[in-house]
Amino acid sequence: MKLKYFSELKRSMEYLAKQRKTLFIGQAVEYPGTAMYNTISAISKSKKLELPVAEEMQMGITLGMALNGLIPISIYPRWNFLLLAVNQLINHIDKINDISDGEFDPRIIIRTAVGSKRPLNPQSQHLGDFTKFFKESCKNINVQKLTKSEDIFRTYKDALNSKNKINLIVEVADFYNEK
C-alpha cells in the first residue's frame, strides 16, 4: 500500500522550499526527532533554521521575519506544544492587520499536528486537537485540518499564493503511517 498522506506532505514541503522567500523554522527542522522532520529531511539546510525549545519566542520570530518579507513555515509537531505560543498567535499574528490598519499584511504558514496514538499512545498531554477552538478564536488566521491526502498539496500551495495570507495547517500524525 502506498502511503499517500506522507508523500503528499513531503511533496508540498519540497514545493514550498523552492520558493525564494520561504524558511522552515522550529525544533527538529535541521535535526531528526519528529515525524514532521521526515517530511523536510531532503530540504537543504540553507532553507531551515533550528530553534531552541522556546515556543512563544518561535511564534514571535515567525511574525518578525514575515514583517520583513520572509515567508516562515513555522513548525510545531503537536497542538499541545503550540499552546505555549498562543500569546503571539492570538495577540499578534491574528491582530497584525488590525493594529496596523491593514498596512502590514504578512504571509505566514504554521504547521502543527494532532499527535499520533499508534503504535504508541503518548497519553493526554500529547494528543490534543484544538482546531475548533482556534477556528473560533482567530479572525484573520485560516485554520485548516488535513484529513484527506488529496487536499494536502493544494492546501499548502494555496497557503503560499492565496488571499488568505496567514494559514495554520493541522495534520493528523496517525495518517502519516496509515493513509
Partner 1 sequence: MKYTPEKLIQFENNVCKLFNKKKIRAPIHLYNGNEKEIIKVFKKVKKNDWIFCSWRSHYQCLLKGVPQKILLKKILNGKSIALTFKKYKIFSSAIVGGNIPVALGTAISLKRKKSKSKVFCFIGDMTSESGIAHESIKYAINYNLPIQFIIEDNDLSVCTDTLKTWKMKKLTFSNKKTKFIYYYKYKNKYPHAGSGKRIQF
Query: For binding to partner 1 (CB under 8 A), which residues are involved?
Result: 23, 49, 52, 54, 56-70, 72, 87-88, 91-92, 95-96, 99-101, 103-104
Quote the CA–CA distance of 92 and 87 in Å, as a whole number.
7
**46 versus 123: smaller Cβ distance to partner 1:** 46
**43 versus 63: smaller Cβ distance to partner 1:** 63
Nearest to residue 169, comparing CAs of 144, 141, 149? 144
CB of 20 to partner 1, least distance (A): 11
CB of 31 to partner 1, least distance (A): 17
Is the bond into 119 cis (omega within 30 degrees of 0)? yes
CB of 67 to partner 1, least distance (A): 6
**101 versus 136: smaller Cβ distance to partner 1:** 101
**69 versus 119: smaller Cβ distance to partner 1:** 69
CB of 87 to partner 1, least distance (A): 7
CB of 61 to partner 1, least distance (A): 4
Helix ranges restricted to H, 18-113:
35-40, 55-67, 79-82, 86-88, 96-99
**21 versus 117: smaller Cβ distance to partner 1:** 21
CB of 158 to partner 1, least distance (A): 24
Nearest to residue 151, comparing CAs of 110, 177, 179? 179
Q: Is the dihedral of CA 93, 98, 104, 109 positive or negative?
A: positive
Phi-psi label, residue 111: left if phi above 0, alpha if psi -120 to 50, beta otherwise: beta
Taking the CA atoms of residue 136, residue 179, residue 12 and residue 112 in that order, the dihedral angle to the nearest 10 degrees is 40
- Tally of residues, the chain: 179
**16 versus 70: smaller Cβ distance to partner 1:** 70
